[in-house]
């Protein structure tokens, strides 16, 4: 029985409204670990554990975005999507998000080798991030794109973080915060293109619901990442 | 029984020597269709059929290169490899290899829509090109990179083609030949990086032989593409 017809298809505004409702409930700014971070309650070790583990996510973004790019049917969209790979890998070795995160880690007293070698990477973080990359590898292009739409919620969180780190974690050198400043400009540009693509690719109400499920999946990835850092597993 | 030991591992020069030997035998410049092209013996329809069908190869290169990029472990290599995607997709919609090939087609009296819609795409061409993309999707990064090493043989063929088209196919407007001129600079730069990567990734003699098999596979892709154009199947 075909319940949904094309008449139910959401407009862009309706889709974005549902997306924001989803984010209000499930985005990782609601996670206890993030709440403690923002209340200034994390120990140095906890903050450093987050910086070290979140790096794995940053490091996998170019691969994830290259997998999405490889599926995009329109050249104009591939040209735009390529900017994301540039943003993370950098135009050269001395810029880009991965490099900025390494600088952020150094500002927090962590040697970049610790991040690059991945020796303190928690299994739960690895599994969550790998699940995200595999989702983008295996799903249809508009679902892979949809999973990036947590970017709609990111700027608020990122702008808060700059102030919070400066206020509560002043042992981190302020020169290390460039990553967050740069993302404030990149994320809104990216999320608009992402929404455009999803509106094009998800042609029916059912497909739009699938796209929202992809966003929910991505919220779970980010949430699990913080779970793993919060609990750090039962020690062997 | 482990026959090959690490003592057998080829030097870069030895590897390149075997690569060139392979190209001398199996590169598609030896294909009868290419020989007829270079002898000026193709009819207008045959030349146009090649231009239309070879476009599918051009069109798939950014996806193929994004798949390779998604696997490259080193950021510096991803930054370099990204240039290939830029070269084919373009910095903007009005440059890049795909766009130049469309201009080449127009110079040969073919509307770009015929290429973009793919209606005259031969099944054998589609299968060969898709096999190449899937090889890069599924194989290890250094084998995916190795399959691009036909670029070592390309400049000679490409530089010949400019003169041959000008001489034998003068009904094609000379303004359409930019694609070939640009590739003369891009291919040598790319192939040096490709060889570097394969020398890093293929650590044993056996792996180097696998890399050469990947080049042979790629020669078969290009060869099959011309087979399909030469024979055009048994007509239904």
Region A115-120: mean pLDDT is 94
Whether the CB-CB separation of A145 and A198 falls below 8 Å is answered with: yes
| A55 inside domain | yes
Using one digit for the tens of pLDDT, what is the confidence trace for A30-69? 999 999 999 999 999 999 999 999 999 999 999 999 999 9
Residue A2 belongs to some domain of the structure: no
| pLDDT the model gives residue B235 | 66
Summarised one tens digit per residue, pLDDT across range B106-144 is 999 999 999 999 989 999 999 999 999 999 999 999 999
Report the domain count for chain B.
Answer: 1
pLDDT at B70 over 90: yes
Contact (CB<8Å) A79/B92: yes
Contact A178, A103 (CB under 8 A): yes
What pLDDT is stored for residue B78 in this prediction?
Answer: 98
Closest chain A CA to residue B136:
A70
Tell me whether residue B93 is in a domain. yes
Q: Token pair of B163, please? A: 């003169």
> What ipTM was predicted for this assembly?
0.92
Question: Is A112 part of any domain?
Answer: yes
DSSP class of B3: -
Residue at A6 is within a domain: no
Both tokens of B41, joined, read: 């013996």
Contact A75 B66 (CB under 8 A): no
Nearest CA in chain B to A59: B75
Of A51-60, A62-71, B20-29, B225-234, the range with the lowest mean pLDDT is B225-234
Which site among B69, B97, B136 would you substitute to test the A interface, given the most A Cβ atoms closer than 10 Å to its Cβ?
B69
pLDDT digits (tens, 9 = 90+) for B73-85: 999 999 999 999 9
Asked whether A34 and A28 are in contact (CB, 8 A), the reply is: yes
Identity of the residue in A70, A91, A92 whose CB atom sits nearest the CB atom of B66: A70
pLDDT range class, residue A189, cuts 50, 70, 90: confident
Q: Which domain holds residue B73?
A: 6-231
What pLDDT, on a 0 to 100 scale, did the predictor assign at position A74? 97
The reported pLDDT for the residue numbered B5 is 52
Looking at chain A, list the stretches that DSSP marks H as alpha helix, in order from N- to C-terminal side.
12-26, 32-38, 44-71, 75-89, 97-107, 112-117, 123-138, 141-146, 154-168, 178-201, 205-231
pLDDT value of position B62: 98
Give the per-residue SS3 of B25-46.
Answer: HHCHHHCHHHHHHHCCCCCHHH
Segment B45-50 shows an average pLDDT of 96
CATH code, B18: 1.20.910.10
Convert the pLDDT of each residue in B154-213 to its tens digit: 988 998 999 999 999 999 999 899 999 998 888 788 899 999 999 999 999 999 999 999
Chain A residue with CA closest to B133: the answer is: A70
- B107 occurs within a structural domain: yes
CB contact under 8 A, A89 and B70: no
Domain assignment present for A61: yes
Higher pLDDT, B236 or A207: A207
| DSSP line for A176-199 | GGHHHHHHHHHHHHHHHHHHHHHH
A71 contact residues in B (CB cutoff 8 A)? 63
Give residue for tokens 């990036």: A148
CA dist B70 → A146, B55, B63, B221 (Å): 19, 24, 10, 22
- What pLDDT band is residue A233 in, cutting at 50, 70 and 90? low
Task: Report if residue B236 sits inside a domain.
Answer: no
CA–CA separation, A115 and A121 (whole Å): 8
Question: Sign of dihedral through CA atoms B38, B39, B42, B43?
Answer: positive
Mean pLDDT of chain A: 94
Structure tokens belonging to residue B203: 């650590």
* Number of other CB atoms surrounding residue A36 within 10 Å: 15
At residue B6, the pLDDT reads 56
Rounded to a whole number, what is the distance in Å from the CA of A52 to chain B's nearest CA?
18
């Amino acid at each position: 029985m075909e319940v949904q017809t094309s008449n139910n298809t959401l407009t862009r505004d309706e889709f974005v409204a549902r997306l924001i409702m989803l984010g209000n409930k499930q985005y990782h700014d609601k996670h206890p670990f993030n709440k403690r971070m923002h209340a200034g309650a994390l120990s140095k070790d906890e903050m450093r554990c987050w910086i070290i583990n979140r790096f794995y996510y940053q490091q996998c973004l170019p691969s994830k975005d290259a997998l999405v790019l490889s599926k995009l049917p329109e050249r104009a969209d591939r040209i735009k999507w390529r900017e994301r790979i540039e943003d993370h890998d950098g135009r050269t070795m001395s810029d880009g998000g991965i490099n900025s995160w390494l600088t952020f880690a150094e500002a927090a007293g962590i040697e970049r080798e610790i991040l690059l070698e991945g020796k303190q990477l928690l299994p739960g973080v690895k599994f969550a991030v790998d699940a995200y990359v595999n989702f983008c590898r295996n799903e249809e292009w508009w679902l892979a794109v949809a999973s990036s739409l947590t970017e709609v919620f990111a700027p608020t969180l990122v702008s808060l973080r700059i102030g919070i780190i400066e206020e509560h974690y002043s042992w981190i050198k302020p020169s290390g915060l460039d990553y967050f400043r740069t993302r404030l400009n990149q994320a809104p540009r990216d999320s608009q293109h992402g929404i455009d693509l999803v509106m094009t690719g998800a042609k029916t109400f059912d497909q739009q619901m699938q796209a929202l499920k992809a966003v929910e999946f991505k919220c779970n990835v980010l949430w699990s990442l913080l779970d793993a850092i919060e609990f750090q597993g039962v020690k062997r």
